[in-house]
Amino acid sequence: MENEVDNRLEPELRPDRTRVVRRVIFGLALVAAALVGALAGLLVVYSTDLPQVTDLERYRPSSITELYDQNGAVIGSFALQRRVIARYEDYPKVLRDAIISTEDKDFEKHLGIDPWRILGAAYRDLASGSRAQGASTLTMQLSRNLFLTADRKFGRKIQEIMLSIQIERRFTKEQIFTLYANQIFLGHGVYGFEAGSEFYFSKPAKDLTIEEAALLAGLPKAPSSYSPINNPEKALHRRNLVINNMMEDGRITAAQAQEAKSKPIVLHLQQDPNNVAPYFVEETRRLLEKKFGTDEVHEGGLRVYTTLDSGLQKVATRALLDGLAAYERRHGWKGHVPNVIAAGEDFTTYEHGDWLHKPEVGSYFHALVTKAGKNEAEIKIGKYTATIHPADMIWTQYKTPGEILATGDIVYVRVTAVDGEHHLQVALEQDSGAQGALVAIDNNTGEIRAMVGGRDFDESKFNRATQALRQTGSSFKPYVYSAAVEAGAMPDDTIVDAPISFPGANGVWAPHNYDNKYEGTISLRHALADSRNIPAIKLAQRVGIKTVIEYVHKFGITSEIQPYLPVALGSAEVTLLEHTAAYSTFPNDGVRLSPHYIRKVTDYDGHAMEQNIADVRDVISEHSARVMVELLRGVVLHGTGYAASKLNHPLGGKTGTTNDFTDAWFMGFSPSITCGVWVGYDEKKTLGAKETGAQAALPIWIEFMKAAIAAKPDEQFPEPPPDAAGKGKGEKTAASGDGESH
């Protein structure tokens, strides 16, 4: 009976169960549809403004614009992001292994995302109540760095995943890795592993060792925290963690890992190439930005082939600094050095701009006095220390450092030796504010071979070679003589060196010679060699001062010059660069080539964007140019430039000194190169008694020219005209003073 009852009830219960099952299935279907709809909605919302990954086919990140000297050495760079773009094959296997083991173990297997890694990270985030756990693959990091922001919002993560999947579908693993390796930030303004290798180790990535590769691979997670410069202990721990990851993944052996971990972090930080010729590099930057725009120069990765000779540039810098130091010593210790404590600055955190440079023997630095004792003073130059002893300051005529130095003083020193890793030997020097500049130009091409625009670029960016307008003194006289020679004058023509006066609206102008003496009838050769003022004025009067000024402008001087006779003695103001380029006309047979910095500019792929050819202009005749070379050789052989004759080389030139000794010049040339030197203060103040061009500027010129002519022992000037040579060569004035306008 019971079975019968059950059998009778079963048909009645069966429809209810079926209805329940159907309702459950229907409900689940609704939930699934809602989820699918929501997900689809989210995908639509977050993909609305999604970038197109196809743009990556044409993408090239901003990279460094590099400047090369005439021999192909890097002398400077410009960049918003310090990046060197490399190819996949430029990254060695050890670096690829280190990166993949640390950042994305399954990079070569997944399709852009790692679901298990994402779920694991999400679980840990929930458990810890934070968002600290990362789960990004290399592809996700790439998509975030290229297209998205760094925030951790849900929407951004969805976009990151979608972009990563698209990137994986369109690009190979090698392409993705290369894009990532060129894009990632590694601290200190460095982007990409090639630039990172060059910055931290001064070598290309292909030469990295295991421990070096591991150090770089550990940086992307937190470049600031793991910086080997700022946080070496944390960097070491992170590096060793990367090495362990590589060992666990079987990419290196246990023995290799142990050996790599046992090594200390050894950095060889890349020296700033802009330090070689900072004034030249800055002038080049201005020219490039004017032609190509700021963005292209700082982001376009241009290749700029300049005219600079790095070897001569270093000689020029050293010659100028040594010349200024000699000037300072001639005038004794002035004191009045700045003191950081008196200025209210933090003594413990003080840094000077030139401390970024590596000390070398013969280099000059501003140093902080950290302790001034009676018999010695301890100083600091960045991470380097030194001690000043009485023997290091004999020229000051003080017996001990304690007499003139105090803790907190900023003193100027010359490095005489580098002892060990962080200790120096130095000599006390002085920086009273005296400045100088030097320019050297190749006669045959107009290419600028060297340029120094001041004592210290870190203290003053003002370029005294190109921006300072200064009176030329007697170095202006060759333009007067050129106009006279063009009118038919010859070296052995005579002129009367005697008192002369000129009435004017402001009274009578009565010029005089430097020594206040007059020599009567003398040759033009002798008048220029001894820099007699009266003959120069009479020549200017004879040919006409307006004619002289016309010739000056033909020589390339652009300054506006008033047509007054005092101009003949150098009252006109010019830049050193224009003055030097003008003088190069004499050894170049009367032809002036426009001075220029750049030979060629290419884009990153090597396509030429610009190729410079000097502008050529006839200034004076070949005959006149050779006569002028003969006259200017006389200045060196037996005139105010006689000190240069010890070089035993064909040379010509002219000294120049302005009133009250405010400007000292020497402008001179060999058959192949023309060099101009200026010394003075930025403000119009005297250098001191008898600080003439021969005293202050000529020694600097001589030191530079020693190097400039060293490889050209057999060069000669073209033969002078028969009626210009021969006479007067036995004269030897070698005046103790510089016969300049005064």
* CATH topology (fold) of 435-708: Beta-lactamase (3.40.710)
CB 644 within 8 A of CB 651: yes
103 an active-site residue? yes
Rounded Cα–Cα distance for residues 168 and 403 (Å): 72
In the set 103, 283, 578, 691, the catalytic residue is 103
**pLDDT computed for residue 43 by the predictor:** 44
CB 651 within 8 A of CB 632: no
- What percentage of the chain reaches a pLDDT higher than 70? 85
* Domain residue ranges in the chain: 2-48, 81-272, 435-708
**pLDDT computed for residue 80 by the predictor:** 85
The whole model's pTM is what? 0.84
**Measured CA angle at 529 (ends 523, 530), to 5 deg:** 90
- Reading the block at residue 315, the tokens are 């000689």
Lowest-confidence pick of 35-44, 635-644, 656-665, 687-696:
35-44
In the set 63, 77, 474, 475, the catalytic residue is 474
Residue 737, pLDDT above cutoff 90: no
Residue 123, pLDDT above cutoff 60: no
In this prediction, residue 198 has a pLDDT band, given cuts at 50, 70 and 90, of: very high
**pLDDT computed for residue 211 by the predictor:** 97
CB 393 within 8 A of CB 384: no
Residue 684 dihedral angles phi and psi, to the nearest 5°: -75, 85
Rounded Cα–Cα distance for residues 345 and 119 (Å): 53
CB 613 within 8 A of CB 444: no
Buried b / exposed e along 320-337 (16+ C-beta atoms within 10 A): bbbbbbebbeeeebeeeb
**pLDDT computed for residue 275 by the predictor:** 84
108 an active-site residue? no
| 81-272 homologous superfamily | Biosynthetic peptidoglycan transglycosylase-like (1.10.3810.10)
Please give the average per-residue pLDDT across 177-205, as a whole number. 93
- Per CATH, 81-272 and 435-708 having the same topology is answered no
Average pLDDT over the chain reads 88
- Reading the block at residue 687, the tokens are 């250098």
**pLDDT computed for residue 142 by the predictor:** 81
Buried b / exposed e along 664-675 (16+ C-beta atoms within 10 A): bbbbbbbbbbbb
**DSSP for 520-585, written as a single string:** EEEEHHHHHHTT-HHHHHHHHHHH-HHHHHHHHHHTT--S-----GGGGGT-SEE-HHHHHHHHTT
pLDDT digits over 207-221, tens only?
A: 999 999 999 999 999
**pLDDT computed for residue 336 by the predictor:** 87
Rounded Cα–Cα distance for residues 600 and 66 (Å): 12
